[in-house]
Structure 1
């Protein structure tokens, strides 16, 4: 229960009003030290409840009687507009019985309107680094008295090239603030450098690591010959796979536009989301998907972070993501909060190495699947198939030499042929992934 935490009664009232009962593991681990004022570095899966893990301690620190606001007291940095909007809603929900006010600053909105909002000095400012830097440069943003800084999806902000902006904004907040850094992955050297620069004697918490990602999400691959073949597979999946809502990820805006056009031409109710869409279009796409006006969203990785949509149970990677971390964030859109989901990756010859590296990164092997009537010629690298045949030929020769001994079946190589679901195990010998019988 949330009353185990030393939270203000107004926050406990909001938690009860919202129907929260049992805190998640990340909330149990992070809320008490955050309330104590510790700097935290938390690695936790998307959908694990980490927003409440930093919002509740932050509000608890700022709570008090109504009084004139003269300084921004807390800053929450996020990589995308969508995630910023979502976080603003969460802050407002938990703060509903307090006098704490929040504001948001992201790209795609009127700069002068934002400047007017900043003159009213919200207690909590939520925003994306690029637009916040613009306000800092213009003198419309003052951060010298910030008490708490939250860096959410810090790994993604680094991936998007915001490292210098983030560092500058944190520095502008002075030296005495508390810093809470959250990420879904451990990141690389850049994230380690940021941790060293912005956190003071932090407590390191690791929960829901990527190795646990498959627990509620079935992960499959379907090989394809070319993009046109992938498009036919997408149409088949949307027509035959049971789902409430689906997101299809591409690596480029051009491919997203092309696929979206093909779906709409086939009378599939879909929306599209990528960086060239203005803020109004992006908001509309997400709201229509949340409300059920459409069932399918075609998106680039701009949507891989921050989408929290009930009923999203199918993710299709039209293009393989370029890294294991991006894969984690894409398929993290489904199977949230203990739910079930299905992630399907369409793999051409130029995707195979990426797919294999992601399998190694996750220490898993994805289920191989074939769609009847749409099986392509490409079934994996030729050298792997050839080596499997060579192993089989050698075994046959050995069997002829020793006819009195019972021959054992040849071991199936990791990437050869089309293993059945029951034969799929992770490369480190872990138990088979939980499967439902394929519908294809």
Structure 2
């Protein structure tokens, strides 16, 4: 490494996310000091990135092509609500059967879900490859080669495939699971609409993912297009009440109180419609809130009474 003249650190933020910071810094320290170093990252990376820049670059020049909020306008971003995992599977089957696309990537958050969904799609007579971290390098290379060659049109993958992939004609991205952050969302949908092309990104949102989706919208300062597939219309069509930030309006304080009471072993208080009584006479108290007061008896009624 002492003879190295140029060091290129690509996908730097991803290496940091995966815990390779110490390894990268160690390798950079072994290289000759009189070298040119290029560092590329899709996101700012925060304090960890600043540390890597300070350790590996010398008098660096910074070039920002765009920010995460400057997404490609040629990518249509849509949201479809779903009831559960099985409903999402049916939606993916419908989309892959009815959407117009050349090649597609379906993203999941876990390897287990990727394998399960891959099996469901294969059972639907679709040619599908599954790509995740537990796949051998040979299987990964085979999957990408087949997708690029057009022998396979659909790739089911975890976020391991969201970085560094460029496939010509990939014009459809489906988020089976909503990504856990805005940056991951950007990386996923960035697989389509590349180099001036057009594409569509569709996210399937269950009730528990709504607030995450709203947070990503606010982070990107963009509004997604809501879409309904009548043939597969579910029960969950979005929260009934929304906050100003787009998240579901819920009684957070009440839920926290119920949890606290449950820990203490208290039973939830039940509301009973019991008439109020005077503590001394045990007689009903006039209900002034209803607009009608209890009629009082006069001690000495007159002749007109």
- Please tell me whether the aligned partners of residues 155 and 191 of structure 1 are also in contact (alpha carbons under 8 angstroms): yes
Q: Which residue of 2 aligns with 1:221?
A: 79
Q: Which residue of 2 aligns with 1:167?
A: 25
State whether structure 2 residue 58 is matched by structure 1 residue 200.
Answer: yes
- Work out the CA distance in 2 between the residues paired with 1:204 and 1:211: 19
User: What does residue range 43-54 of structure 1 map to in structure 2 within 5 Å?
Assistant: none
Q: Which segments of 5 or more consecutive residues in structure 2 lack a partner in the other structure?
A: 249-305
- Work out the CA distance in 1 between the residues paired with 2:231 and 2:100: 19
1:270-299 Cα offsets, whole Å, 9 max, x none, are: 111111111111111111111111110000
Helix, strand or coil: the match of 1:145? coil
- Work out the CA distance in 1 between the residues paired with 2:109 and 2:15: 18
Helix, strand or coil: the match of 2:230? coil
Helix, strand or coil: the match of 2:208? coil
User: Bigger radius of gyration, 1 or 2?
Assistant: 2
- Please tell me whether the aligned partners of residues 273 and 297 of structure 1 are also in contact (alpha carbons under 8 angstroms): yes
State whether structure 2 residue 9 is matched by structure 1 residue 151.
Answer: yes
1:331-371 Cα offsets, whole Å, 9 max, x none, are: 11100001000000111122122211211111111111111
- Work out the CA distance in 1 between the residues paired with 2:140 and 2:66: 30
Helix, strand or coil: the match of 1:350? helix
Q: Which residue of 2 aligns with 1:42?
A: none
1:69-126 Cα offsets, whole Å, 9 max, x none, are: xxxxxxxxxxxxxxxxxxxxxxxxxxxxxxxxxxxxxxxxxxxxxxxxxxxxxxxxxx
- Work out the CA distance in 2 between the residues paired with 1:376 and 1:144: 62
Q: Specify which of 138, 142, 148 is matched with residue 284 of structure 1.
A: 142
1:120-168 Cα offsets, whole Å, 9 max, x none, are: xxxxxxxxxxxxxxxxxxxxxxx12211111111111111111111111
Q: Which residue of 1 aligns with 2:269?
A: none
Shift of the alpha carbon at 1:171? 0.7
Q: Specify which of 233, 236, 239 is matched with residue 378 of structure 1.
A: 236
State whether structure 2 residue 110 is matched by structure 1 residue 252.
Answer: yes
Q: In terms of mean alpha carbon deviation, does 158-167 or 174-183 score higher?
A: 174-183
Q: Specify which of 324, 329, 342 is matched with residue 187 of structure 2.
A: 329
Higher relative contact order (CA 8 A, sep 6+): 2
Helix, strand or coil: the match of 2:163? coil
- Work out the CA distance in 1 between the residues paired with 2:59 and 2:239: 48
Q: Which residue of 2 aligns with 1:70?
A: none
Shift of the alpha carbon at 1:415? 6.5
State whether structure 2 residue 118 is matched by structure 1 residue 241.
Answer: no
- Work out the CA distance in 2 between the residues paired with 1:214 and 1:311: 16
- Please tell me whether the aligned partners of residues 314 and 342 of structure 1 are also in contact (alpha carbons under 8 angstroms): yes
| TM-score, normalising length: structure 1 | 0.55
Helix, strand or coil: the match of 2:234? coil
Q: Which segments of 5 or more consecutive residues in structure 1 lack a partner in the other structure?
A: 1-142, 389-412, 417-440
Q: Which residue of 2 aligns with 1:271?
A: 129
- Work out the CA distance in 2 between the residues paired with 1:354 and 1:415: 8
Question: What is the RMSD of the two structures over their aligned residues, measured on CA atoms?
Answer: 1.6
User: What does residue range 290-369 of structure 1 map to in structure 2 within 5 Å?
Assistant: 290-369=148-227
State whether structure 2 residue 49 is matched by structure 1 residue 211.
Answer: no
Helix, strand or coil: the match of 2:8? strand
1:183-221 Cα offsets, whole Å, 9 max, x none, are: 111222211221122111111111132222131211111
- Work out the CA distance in 1 between the residues paired with 2:241 and 2:69: 29
- Please tell me whether the aligned partners of residues 359 and 365 of structure 1 are also in contact (alpha carbons under 8 angstroms): yes
- Work out the CA distance in 2 between the residues paired with 1:414 and 1:160: 31
Q: Specify which of 36, 40, 65 is matched with residue 182 of structure 1.
A: 40
Shift of the alpha carbon at 1:382? 4.0
- Please tell me whether the aligned partners of residues 380 and 415 of structure 1 are also in contact (alpha carbons under 8 angstroms): no
Helix, strand or coil: the match of 2:155? strand
Shift of the alpha carbon at 1:414? 4.8
Q: How many aligned positions are there?
A: 248
1:377-418 Cα offsets, whole Å, 9 max, x none, are: 22233442xx79xxxxxxxxxxxxxxxxxxxxxxxx9579xx
- Please tell me whether the aligned partners of residues 72 and 193 of structure 2 are also in contact (alpha carbons under 8 angstroms): no
- Work out the CA distance in 1 between the residues paired with 2:227 and 2:43: 28
